[in-house]
Structure 1
Amino acid sequence: MPSWTGVITEEEERRYASAGFGGAGGFGKHPALLIIDVQYRTVGTERKPYWDAIKEYPTSCGDVGWAAVDKIEPLLSVFRAKGFPVLYPHVAPKNAATDGGRLAQKIPSIMGIDAKGYEFVEQIAPLKGDVLLPKKHPSAFFGTPLTSHLIDLGVDTLVVTGCTTSGCVRSSVTDAFALNFKVIVPDDCVYDRAPTSHAVNLWDMNGKYADVLPSSEVIETLNAMETAS
C-alpha cells in the first residue's frame, strides 16, 4: 500500500493519472546510494517519540527517523556487498559568524546544534571509501561536487534515502531528475517530521520525478544485479 494512501484523494489520483504522470523510470545498471542528513540532529541520540526527541534537538524527527534508519541499514548492506557506491550528503556544523543567511533566518534552531548532533548515526555511518559531501543548502547537488563524483563512478541510477522527505530529499530528487539520472526513492527509507508533508511529497515525486517503492523491492532488484567490477 503506498505511503500516501488515505492522504491523497481519489480525485487527485485521477487528475495525475489523466495527465499521464506516474510512469516507471526503472533502474539502470550502475546504482549509487545517497544517504542524506542521517545525523543525530535529525533522529536524536535515543529512540523517542517526536515530542520527546525535540527536547534534545529541535530539528529531530524522532521515532519515524529511527524507523527509516532500520530500513536503510539492510539496503546499505546490499550496496556494500555489491560494491556499489555510497555517498553521504550532510549538513556540516554551523559557524554562527559565517553561516548565516537565509537558512539561519528560516530555521534558526539549526544554528545551535552541538557537535554530537552532526555525527552520522552509528549503525549506518560512513566507511572508508564512501564519499562525504558537506552541503549548505537542501539539494545534495547545489554547491557540492556530487555530479562530478557520480560521473567519475559511472552512475546512472540514484537510490535516495534520508531526511527530510519534503526538504533535502525532494530537492535532491528533482535535481537528480533534471540531470537525467534514474531516481529511486525507497519510501520507508526517508522520513519527515510532518506525516502529511511526507505522504504528499512521496506521491508527487512518484508522479513526476522518481519511482517510489518499498525498500524490499529495491533490495530484490539490487540483489539480482551483477556485482560491481
Structure 2
Amino acid sequence: MGNDDYKNRSYGEIPVGTGFKPGIVVVDFQLGFTDPDYPLGGAPLVMRALKNTETLLKAARRYGVPVASCNTAYMNEREMPYWKITAVRETFRHDHPSVALDPRIHDPAYDLVVCKKGPSIFFSTGVADYFAKERVDTVIVTGCNTSGCIRATAIDAFSHRYRTLVPEDCVGDIEEQPHRDNLRDLGRRYVDVVDLDHALAYLERWHAAQATPQEA
C-alpha cells in the first residue's frame, strides 16, 4: 500500500478534539535545556518552543487555566534511573543551577510544580490528582524534548483518558527529524498535533464559554 499504509489502515482518522476544561503541562523547561551555557541547553527548536509556551501560558493564567510545570532532578546518581546521557547524570542534581525552571515560563505563585524522576510529568507525581480536583479533561502538552519526555507525557496523558493536544511549536527537541517523526507518530495514535494559534483559540473559546450564563 506504499507510503499511505498507516492512513489506509485508519490511523489518525478520528480527531481527539477538546472537552470541558483545559489544563497545561510544561515539561522540563529548566535551565539545563534553555540556557546554552549548559551541555544540553539552547537547542533552536527548544528555544522556539520556550518562546511560544511563554505566550500560551500568559493567556492560560489570565483565563484561570490550571498549569503544572516540572523539572527533572535527583539527589545523586544512586537515585537516578539508568540514564544513558552523561550530561543528565552529571548536572541534573538538586544542588545544580541547571535544574531551576526558566523564569520566562515559571510563575511560582500560580503553577503547580513537581520534580519528576522519569520521562513523564505524570509518573509518580501529583499532577493527575491536581487535574482531577480541577476537573481537567483536556491536556495541552508543552516543553522538551519531543522524542523523550514529551512523547512519554503525551502517552501518559492518553492513558489517563485525557483529550491531549500537542502544539508543534510549543515543544522542541535537539534535532528536527526526531521532533517531526515523534509528533507524526503521536498524531497517528494518541493526540491531536496542533499549533500555538490553535491552542490559544481553544483557551479563548473556553474562557468565553465560562463567562456566558448557562441555560437553566
TM-score of the superposed pair, with normalisation by structure 1: 0.84
**CA displacement at 1:129 relative to structure 2:** 3.1
**CA displacement at 1:193 relative to structure 2:** 0.4
Q: Please, which of 29, 49, 69 is the counterpart of residue 38 of structure 1?
A: 29
Change (3 A) 1:101 1:127: closer
Matched AA of 2:43 = G
Distance (Å, rounded) in 2 between the aligned partners of 1:166 and 1:42:
14
Cα-Cα RMSD: 1.9
**CA displacement at 1:64 relative to structure 2:** 2.0
**CA displacement at 1:57 relative to structure 2:** 1.8
Q: 1:78 matched to which residue of 2?
A: 59
- Count of residue correspondences: 206
Unaligned runs of 5+ in 2: 212-216
> Which is further off, 157-166 or 136-145?
136-145
Distance (Å, rounded) in 2 between the aligned partners of 1:18 and 1:180:
26
Q: 1:48 matched to which residue of 2?
A: none
**CA displacement at 1:61 relative to structure 2:** 4.7
Deviations along 1:61-91, one digit per CA (max 9) or x if unpaired, are 5222111111111111111111010000221
1:157, 1:183 within 8 Å by CA — same for their partners in 2?
A: yes
Q: Please, which of 158, 167, 170 is the counterpart of residue 148 of structure 2?
A: 167
Q: 1:110 matched to which residue of 2?
A: 88
**CA displacement at 1:209 relative to structure 2:** 0.6
Q: Please, which of 167, 171, 174 is the counterpart of residue 193 of structure 1?
A: 174
**CA displacement at 1:144 relative to structure 2:** 1.2
Q: 2:124 matched to which residue of 1?
A: 143
Matched AA of 1:154 = R
Q: Please, which of 147, 161, 184 is the counterpart of residue 165 of structure 2?
A: 184
Aligned pairs for 1:91-102 (under 5 A) are 91-92=72-73, 94-96=74-76, 98-102=78-82
Matched AA of 1:199 = R
Q: 1:15 matched to which residue of 2?
A: 5
Q: 2:20 matched to which residue of 1?
A: 29
Change (3 A) 1:225 1:60: same
Deviations along 1:155-210, one digit per CA (max 9) or x if unpaired, are 00000000110111100111110111000000000000021110000101111110
1:60, 1:193 within 8 Å by CA — same for their partners in 2?
A: no
Matched AA of 1:34 = V
Distance (Å, rounded) in 2 between the aligned partners of 1:210 and 1:42:
24
1:139, 1:171 within 8 Å by CA — same for their partners in 2?
A: yes
Matched AA of 2:90 = G
Unaligned runs of 5+ in 1: 1-9, 45-52
Change (3 A) 1:76 1:11: farther
**CA displacement at 1:108 relative to structure 2:** 2.5
Distance (Å, rounded) in 1 between the aligned partners of 2:134 and 2:109:
16
Q: 2:100 matched to which residue of 1?
A: 119
Q: 2:214 matched to which residue of 1?
A: none
Q: 1:152 matched to which residue of 2?
A: 133
Change (3 A) 1:100 1:171: closer
**CA displacement at 1:59 relative to structure 2:** 2.0
* Equivalent position SS for 1:205: helix
